[in-house]
Chain A
């Protein structure tokens, strides 16, 4: 049920990242078309396409763009979040390495829509080869005069911090500071990078834009569900036969994704649980996989689409151990700015570790649940809420497994 490959159409070619191949396969035609469109028409097209952010929050992209104040006298910045870091997610890495020009073309169109003359692409520091690939594509684009004629791109490397994937954490890092997320309000569209109106979008989201312009909003909307248009790239890993990136309509169900596309559980084993949207998404049990993998479908199922990082777990996986690994991640990546997250991510990791090492106490489980529930919604950014997703869902849905490790 994968349907037409759109974002991934060129991936098989070893030279897919070059300008030649990109143009050969229709690249920069959307940009030509967009240059003849009014910015408001571009924005409207993207709105009607029902494109939702593909980095994690799933916010309607056209709506986000419309928050930029009209006729703003100063600069407006387009910032691309290439700080992919959500455990289980690797799609943007593929896009940067295999189709960097798609991002550049998408940026040109988006910039026209929001009135931006400068784009920053924030690439996670660990992505050295993808960064080189993308920077080379930017050079090609400058040589071909796509860039430097009203729109410039500054490529900026991060230096190792998951929190820089949070849009205002990214902005702080871009500004040359620690990646501390900013208080909202004001929102970035009003006051963002360097104090100017800013749109931060995920790599994949922007890569969709040329296709929307080329083939129209209705086409894109029709590919998905009623509330989310298009395809997206699902990163599938874990106990699955064929871990890989799979592009498919967002209306696909999790069962279809695992069994029809990714080859099912490794060695025909028994499915136990699935993380559907990167580690910050609440876990689903094997009984809960008939859910559509769109933003609203997953939200209604009590989890989230997030970054579409799908991690499959079978009966051989220890859920308490998985929680410990995930809790360790959140403790390490907490930026430390605000109290609930800073203090409790470390403490909760210590508790999960004790539980796995059979030094847990019977009250630990309820303590973790209570602390997580008390902290949710009180922090500066959604990082802690992302930590709370696994803290609560792993324990609530697999309580028996945890209880087996602690004294009665």
Chain B
């Protein structure tokens, strides 16, 4: 373990640590562009220069390994001056696009050049011109003039996705990032190149011109798109509601987690947040009598559902829970079902199309919490529940989230089942053909609108947090279930998701000993006895 000094501070780092990472250990950030801890070393930008005692010239930090006794200085006059020179080189041909560039506000050219006071360029010749606003694929837009040729995107496509779509063509100051002519950047992780591009050369087509980044707020969350549970940030726009066509969620970004997704996020997850602000969001509790649908209050809806659960014997009530529900929601549902001894419950509704899977991040199971639902004991035979409904053995069917008519089950059979029950209750965030048939619709908050936890396929419990307030009167499932529990005469003191999580740790052995605090920002794996879900 080499011991070295960075800016006067003595640190010890693992062997094989480069000086950028070593400096981070000492709390020092060395400015850089081309270096990325998840990619190979390029050493091209020349910005990460540092002074090392006994070395005649500043040296790049990314390609220098920490060695015993090294004395590193990152803020000497000579290093600052070198950095300023390098910044000027980067700006020589860079277009003055800031007013129209999405990267403004999070652009590392802006950030570093302002730090070095390079406000007055002495380059007054014609800059090199290259293609602008070139769509590379469905998600990524290229502006080749803005590109600083750090090669991060090229290395990403070579080393992470192994698809090799991008290259740096030609040479000298005519060098240009691009695709092989006639091809597309259409791998399943294309959006990551936008994250790693330090400047506005690669930008997100979905986010293009939507809202300035300084209006965004961020919440730590977990992608609900599949059982991997990639860690993300949800960026919301509260302050400029007239931008981005009123979309509250502006974009998702991956959040580093060494054990789950590292720096990366798949495109399906990254661009899958449209339902959150879609026009088909369920906003108020509704009741349907025949063809007529009327809005109701929560008190009315809660009372009606509690009444339905009391009216019929337990064996005439069936529940299709959702593996997209949070652990807290599932725990609350468990309590409600136990209160009425309802046993016919399942969650496994097969999708019409089998989900895609790869050897990287994407899981075929497109729900974030199947393992959670299983551990909470809701993993019964969902098909049997629907069959019971169809066979007129169920009077009440309560569906969470699913559109049963869009599943792999024969549509005609499902239709019969839905028609056969006397009371069909639907709880979910977005309307669908099942909710259209429900007698009672309880609007649920979307995943970005509340706190909770998911259990990924490896048994890692991860927190997701509220990013924006629920739309309309939508409530988190745990909250409406808590109120139903109370309406059933049970005591329920839970007022936060965390309270339900505590109940979970007490009720389900696999979760014993966990807490929101111990889960932290990177999650916690369940105890050894928890079955992993294949």
Q: Do chains A and B make direct contact within the complex (CB under 8 angstroms)? A: yes
Alpha-carbon distance between A185 and B43 when the two chains are bound, in angstroms? 11
Query: Is the CB of B168 closer than 8 A to any CB of chain A?
Result: yes
Which range contains the number of A residues in contact with the other chain?
Answer: 20 to 34
Alpha-carbon distance between A376 and B148 when the two chains are bound, in angstroms? 20
| B-facing residues in A319-358 (Cβ within 8 Å) | 331-340, 342-347, 350-351, 354
Question: Interface segment, A225-233, A235-243, A377-385?
Answer: A377-385
Q: C-beta contact mask, A372-394 vs B, less than 8 Å → 1, else 0?
A: 00110111100000000000000
Alpha-carbon distance between A370 and B217 when the two chains are bound, in angstroms? 43
Specify which of A161, A178, A343, A354 lies most central, judged by the most chain B CB atoms within 10 Å of its CB.
A343
- Number of A-B residue pairs having CB atoms within 8 Å of each other in the complex: 92
B34: min CB distance to chain A, Å: 9
Pairwise interchain contact B125-A342, C-beta atoms closer than 8 A: no
Pairwise interchain contact A339-B44, C-beta atoms closer than 8 A: yes
Pairwise interchain contact A339-B89, C-beta atoms closer than 8 A: yes
Alpha-carbon distance between A380 and B85 when the two chains are bound, in angstroms? 15
The A contact surface, by secondary structure, is helix
Query: Is the CB of A367 closer than 8 A to any CB of chain B?
Result: yes
CB closest residue in chain B, given A346 = B173
Pairwise interchain contact B92-A344, C-beta atoms closer than 8 A: yes
Pairwise interchain contact A378-B126, C-beta atoms closer than 8 A: no
On whether A336 and B170 interact (CB within 8 A), knowing A363-B122, A374-B85, A378-B49, the answer reads: yes
Pairwise interchain contact B122-A367, C-beta atoms closer than 8 A: yes
On whether A343 and B90 interact (CB within 8 A), knowing A178-B171, A377-B57, the answer reads: yes
Pairwise interchain contact A343-B93, C-beta atoms closer than 8 A: yes
A100: min CB distance to chain B, Å: 31
CB closest residue in chain A, given B87 = A339
Query: Is the CB of B210 closer than 8 A to any CB of chain A?
Result: no
A158: min CB distance to chain B, Å: 14
A357: min CB distance to chain B, Å: 12
A301: min CB distance to chain B, Å: 21
Specify which of A331, A332, A338, A361 lies most central, judged by the most chain B CB atoms within 10 Å of its CB.
A338
Question: Which chain A residues lie closer than 8 Å to B236 at the CB level?
Answer: none
Q: C-beta contact mask, B123-141 vs A, less than 8 Å → 1, else 0?
A: 1111010000000000000
Pairwise interchain contact B173-A334, C-beta atoms closer than 8 A: yes
Query: Is the CB of A183 closer than 8 A to any CB of chain B?
Result: yes
| A-facing residues in B23-56 (Cβ within 8 Å) | 41, 43-47, 49
Pairwise interchain contact B172-A379, C-beta atoms closer than 8 A: no
Pairwise interchain contact B82-A343, C-beta atoms closer than 8 A: no
| A-facing residues in B168-197 (Cβ within 8 Å) | 168, 170-175
On whether A378 and B46 interact (CB within 8 A), knowing A343-B93, A367-B122, the answer reads: yes
Alpha-carbon distance between A336 and B44 when the two chains are bound, in angstroms? 9
Specify which of A163, A178, A336 lies most central, judged by the most chain B CB atoms within 10 Å of its CB.
A336
Pairwise interchain contact A340-B172, C-beta atoms closer than 8 A: no
18 A-B contact pairs sorted by A residue (CB < 8 Å): A331-B173, A333-B172, A334-B172, A336-B174, A339-B89, A342-B149, A342-B172, A343-B93, A344-B92, A345-B173, A346-B173, A350-B125, A354-B125, A361-B124, A378-B49, A378-B58, A379-B46, A380-B43
Chain B positions near chain A (C-beta within 8 angstroms) = 41, 43-47, 49, 57-58, 63, 81-82, 85-86, 88-90, 92-93, 122-126, 128, 148-149, 168, 170-175
Known: A183-B43, A344-B89, A374-B88. 11 other contacts (CB 8 A): A332-B172, A333-B171, A336-B170, A336-B173, A336-B174, A338-B44, A339-B44, A347-B125, A361-B124, A378-B46, A378-B58
